Chain A
Amino acid sequence: MKIDTASYKLKETKQIEKAALFVGAVGLALIFLGYYSNPNQFFYSYLTAYTFWITIGLGGLFLTMLHHLSGAVWSVVLRRIIEAIMKTLPIMAILFIPVGFGIHSLYHWSHTDLVANDAVLQKKSLYLNQGFFLARTLFYFLIWFLLSRTLHKVSIEQDEAFDASQIRKMRKVSAYGMILFGLTVTFAGFDWLMSLDAHWYSTIFGVYFFAGSLVAIISFLILVSLFLGSKAILSDIITVEHYHDLGKLLFAFTVFWAYMAFSQYFLIWYANIPEETIWFMHRWEGSWKIVTMILVLGHFVVPFFALIIRGTKRNLRILGIMAVWMLVMHWVDLYWIVLPSLDHHGVHLSWMDAAGVIGIGGVFVRIFIRRLKADPIIPINDPSLQNSINFINS
């Protein structure tokens, strides 16, 4: 992989695209074969892997809008990378289809015969029914598609010729988009993950889901920048100062995640209402207790003390390790949310869990690389580009 010095576009990406496609195809083929051996396991593993990657894509959309809204300068050099991550969303929508087929395996509320004998689910059936569920998901993807397309379109127009109206337009789209994003992500979290346990409810769950996605996107962004840097692409443009800022955001969002996770737990613990506490009881049963402790320590305590140190954020090797660590923890978080609905009494790791993450990941990385090479890898006409390159943390 190289960079074309005239157009600032990536070139010679065939090899990595092929590798990603191969990995993705093998992973997906394996997990789809798994469907024939254990359909329930397949759907749960697939949903975990799918939410893992879609949260990174959604984080890209969020960061793009945040960038335009805040008028940040330091992140201009990263803008094209986060836009490319955001542009994976339309194709990721296609990968949702297996989840749609798995509604009966995943979601208890989709069985009309069970709902008929369940007073609580009967009351919820106006919202939790198959048709509305799929329509909502379609609506979320439509919103995400329109937002990412508009933001990308204006961004590319800027490469042709700069006009101040482009900045205003991106800012305006982001302002409305942020509200739509907040609502759609909240309800996507409710629908896809919270409704796995249809009796249980937590109003903060959407924010918790969003907080996890922020941790994932920043980690992914650090790793992508490090990878490009190792190929001598943008290595003198994305400097240690930018990594330092990414490290600060990773720290901040890790704390934000913990704040949300604790807030959710705390109110349920205080009120002590059985229909709410049951969700945490499931996650404190048998070997799930270990996963819960891994999450508390690995998703908060360890990164809190590791990332609070300035040196960690400025040492690219350690920062890279922390990024991988946080991505793994993000997966553990989703696994901890999803799988107890299948394995009530303890953890049963399946090879399909790994196959799903690798399979969807291969496809995700391939789309991402193709989106990344389509446009110049830095926004060449952005008036803040030079300031962004020279950026220093003082």
Chain B
Amino acid sequence: MSNQVSKTELMIAEFEGPAALIKAAEKIRDAGYMSFDCHSPFPIHGMDKAMGLKRSPLGWIVGMMAIVGGSGAFLLQWWTSAVNYPLIVAGKPFFSFQAYVPVTFGLAVLFGAVSAVLGMLILNKLPRPFHPAFNSSNFIKFSTDGFFVSIEASDPKFDKTESHEFLRSIGGRNIETVGNH
């Protein structure tokens, strides 16, 4: 058996439950793996830290886009109602910033919310219709009662025999390697 694997292959191991999955993630992180993921039916608190994930830049994206949306709305209202086509409305000054607030607020929220959804999809590299893990019949359980770890073969530390041995030593069961076919 050759230790050579194609770059899209994955090694999947099943774990007992959420606590075991967290412990496993910590050990895989400490062993120096970079390209690995954890799969569970529900979010597990503390998983980000256990996997050694960095904070997502999504907050900054949302914040910036909210500022863009809000200032754009404010400028548009100012330009249309005080510069380009001034109209007296209810005897108030052309530049009545009070009247601009609802639309400014609304557009800031809209830009923030839309960029949160799109940013999340892009950062997660979604949508992704196919993943090698789907070739494992056991892996289906990840959406009901299974807790899995997957290590990508492209990880520099990955070695078919060593990684297999390592996953078994930290409590992994039903370890298998799946590819694209």
Contacts and interface: CB of A to CB of B under 8 A. Distances in A.
Contacts of B45: 390-392, 394
Contacts of B76: none
Contacts of B59: 310
B2 interface: no
B90 A394 contact: no
Nearest to B89: A270
Contacts of A269: 98
A390 B18 CA distance: 15
Given A270-B90, A272-B90, A394 B47 contact: yes
Contacts of B99: 270
Contacts of A390: 45
Contact of B49 (A262, A308, A310, A392): A392
A269 B63 CA distance: 30
Contacts of A262: 101
Interface in A249-284: 262, 265-266, 269-270, 272
Contacts, number: 25
Contacts of B98: 265-266, 269-270
B71 to A, nearest CB: 15
Contacts of A392: 45-46, 49
Nearest to A387: B45
A270 B99 CA distance: 8
A262 B98 CA distance: 9
B97 to A, nearest CB: 11
B48 interface: yes
A241 B46 CA distance: 12
Among A266, A269, A390, A394: residue with most chain B CB under 10 A? A394
Interface string A300-331: 00000000101000000000000000000000
Nearest to B47: A394
Nearest to A262: B101
A270 B63 CA distance: 30
Contacts of A270: 90, 98-99
Nearest to A272: B90
A270 B45 CA distance: 48
Given A394-B48, A394-B49, A266 B90 contact: no
Interface in B75-125: 90-92, 98-99, 101-102
Contacts of A265: 98
A266 B47 CA distance: 45
A247 B102 CA distance: 26
Interface string B43-57: 101111100000000
A262 B48 CA distance: 39
Nearest to A391: B45
B69 to A, nearest CB: 16
A101 B48 CA distance: 59
A262 B105 CA distance: 12
B60 to A, nearest CB: 11
A215 to B, nearest CB: 19
Contacts of B46: 392, 394
A280 B48 CA distance: 50
Given A272-B91, A310-B59, A392-B46, 11 more contacts: A262-B101, A266-B98, A266-B101, A266-B102, A269-B98, A270-B90, A270-B99, A272-B90, A272-B92, A394-B45, A394-B47
25 contacts: A262-B101, A265-B98, A266-B98, A266-B101, A266-B102, A269-B98, A270-B90, A270-B98, A270-B99, A272-B90, A272-B91, A272-B92, A308-B63, A310-B59, A390-B45, A391-B45, A392-B45, A392-B46, A392-B49, A394-B43, A394-B45, A394-B46, A394-B47, A394-B48, A394-B49
Chain A to chain B: the 5 pairs with minimum beta-carbon distance, closest first: A392-B46, A394-B48, A392-B45, A269-B98, A394-B45
Interface of A: 262, 265-266, 269-270, 272, 308, 310, 390-392, 394
